[in-house]
Chain A
Amino acid sequence: MFEIFGIPSTALFGQLLIGLINGSFYALLSLGLAVIFGMLNIINFAHGALYMLGAFTAFLLLHYAGVDYWWALVIVPIVVGIVGVVIERLLLQWLYKLDHLYGLLLTFGLALIIEGMFRNFFGASGRPYQIPELLRGGQNLGFMFLPNYRAWVVFFSAVVCFSTWFLIERTSLGATLRAATENPTLVRAFGINVPRMIMLTYGFGAALAALAGVMAAPIYNVSPQMGSDIIIVVFAVVVIGGMGSILGAVLTGFGLGIIEGLTKVFFPEASNTVVFVIMAIVLLVKPAGLFGRRG
């Protein structure tokens, strides 16, 4: 063990790791928000609820069906993705031509309803979700102790973020998505079923949120308000990164997680507000966000 600026290395790197973990979830969630906003023009306030739905679905699958974590990683995003598709078809598709505000209000209402339903059935207290056997324990790196599950979360979310970025920025499917974000009418006039693409995009965003929820279940407790706890910070992340920028959402997510972690070490009193202070500064200096395209 050694010290940096009078701080023991284990504390520093421990907080850095927690920051990286939080950053992983910020990145996954703001990525989904950015994808949804780009395509649907809707600020998806239900994103936190979908994340909670993912965690709860994993919890319920484990306790009532014996489906383990690894299967949950596959099944839950599909289930919640389908929920997303249903939400888009039943509700959101009627709002695209209206102001952003309507989508925001509708998804906010949805979030309240979903959260309320879960609180009604399961109570407000958190429920533990066990770390899968394969990932229990950890490594002593000398300067800090690294729990295996946390290393997995950072690694896996980085893989998911990179894959999503690659899909959107480097494949022909992604090119079609980007084109449809820019000019849906013309893309449709080329023979592409844009409404179906929009529907699947929301489903994909919902699946990403649910995936984050499954990954979060063993770290945070599974509780009905876990979504609303994290979503406010995630919105700040999206504002800082710039709405609609994929890379911006990912980098800002990880970056702010780390900054938050470091603040906990050096000035703990500010750790809950540092993200919002940064948001205020970014809004003043660069209103479109650090990676935003529109000014």
Chain B
Amino acid sequence: MLNVRTPLLAVNGLEAWYGESHILHGANFNVQEGEVVTLLGRNGAGKTTTLKSIMGIVGRRAGSVRLEGRELINCTSDQIARAGIAFCPEERGIFSSLSVQENLLLPPAVKPGGLPLDQVFELFPNLKDRLAASQGTKLSGGEQQMLAIGRILRTGARLLLLDEPTEGLAPVIIQQIGRTIGALKDKGFTILLVEQNFRFASTVADRYYIMEHGRIVDDFTNSELEANTDKLHAYLGV
């Protein structure tokens, strides 16, 4: 697929290390403005490390990560966040020493145009009811996930990195997260998603990249999904 537009996020030759172990070996992919793109792959393929590398929170990284054409590979993670990328980690990162409200208000606004709080509550009505809870970690798993996503919507970042938002959640909550991702897309957010749950991904994603051993080995769009089902099963080992 030939991209005429400058992609919102362009990743080229991305390499990453944790101490001595070399995890990413030159990953190449891009995300267009307004897209939902999913990274698929087996456990240990480097999906989470890819998100963390974009965010600048791995031990060492090399290659190129550009946001709207601006090179971020030498930036610290706070500078990357301020460039307009927001991250929702796999373990959700809810702070136990902060109340629900403090968790929600913690990430500072990095750009104008973040969602106002009432729109966050429209997406996640449960959060509003639990606002008084003294400890963020007293929430259920689903509520914690909503809090983790909700708090990064306020910041004005237009590119969201979501690491396995459905992990360990009940089907009804997963559906709600799926609807939320759709709604966020309608609001103009661009989303890079890491998923193990391929069926969930297929309900929200525009395009897919397949990762293996720290590289992108394949990619296709949602419309090409059916034609690629067998190949996909082979990649994911399902």
Contact = CB atoms under 8 A, between A and B. Distances in A.
Interface of A: 172, 175-176, 178-179, 181-183, 185-194
A273 to B, nearest CB: 35
A191 B155 contact: yes
B202 interface: no
Contacts of B155: 190-191
A104 to B, nearest CB: 24
Contacts of B77: 185, 188-189
B81 A189 contact: yes
A175 B102 contact: yes
B56 A190 contact: no
B98 A179 contact: yes
Interface stretch (B62-70, B104-112, B116-124, B221-229): B104-112
Nearest to A176: B106
Contacts of B76: 188
Interface residues of B, number: 25
29 contacts: A172-B102, A175-B98, A176-B106, A178-B97, A179-B97, A179-B98, A179-B106, A181-B97, A182-B97, A186-B57, A186-B87, A186-B93, A188-B76, A189-B55, A189-B56, A189-B57, A189-B77, A190-B78, A190-B81, A190-B87, A190-B107, A190-B108, A190-B155, A191-B78, A191-B81, A191-B82, A191-B107, A191-B108, A191-B110
Nearest to B110: A191
Main secondary structure on chain A at its contact with chain B? helix
B155 to A, nearest CB: 7
A45 B226 CA distance: 65
A221 B66 CA distance: 61
B95 A178 contact: yes
Contacts of A186: 57, 87, 89, 93
A207 B155 CA distance: 33
Given A183-B93, A191-B78, 14 more contacts: A175-B102, A178-B95, A179-B102, A179-B106, A182-B97, A183-B95, A186-B57, A186-B89, A189-B55, A189-B81, A189-B87, A190-B86, A191-B107, A191-B110
Main secondary structure on chain B at its contact with chain A? loop
A106 to B, nearest CB: 24
A110 B152 CA distance: 42
Contacts of A176: 106
B154 to A, nearest CB: 11
A182 B78 CA distance: 17
B43 interface: no
A6 to B, nearest CB: 48
Contacts of A192: 78, 108
A186 B97 CA distance: 14
Contacts of A189: 55-57, 77-78, 80-81, 87
B96 interface: yes
Contacts of A194: 78
A4 to B, nearest CB: 41
Contact of A172 (B55, B82, B89, B105): B105
A28 to B, nearest CB: 23
A182 B108 contact: no
Interface in B45-94: 55-57, 76-78, 80-82, 86-87, 89, 93
A181 B56 CA distance: 19
Nearest to A186: B93
Contacts of A183: 93, 95
Given A190-B81, A191-B78, A175 B105 contact: yes
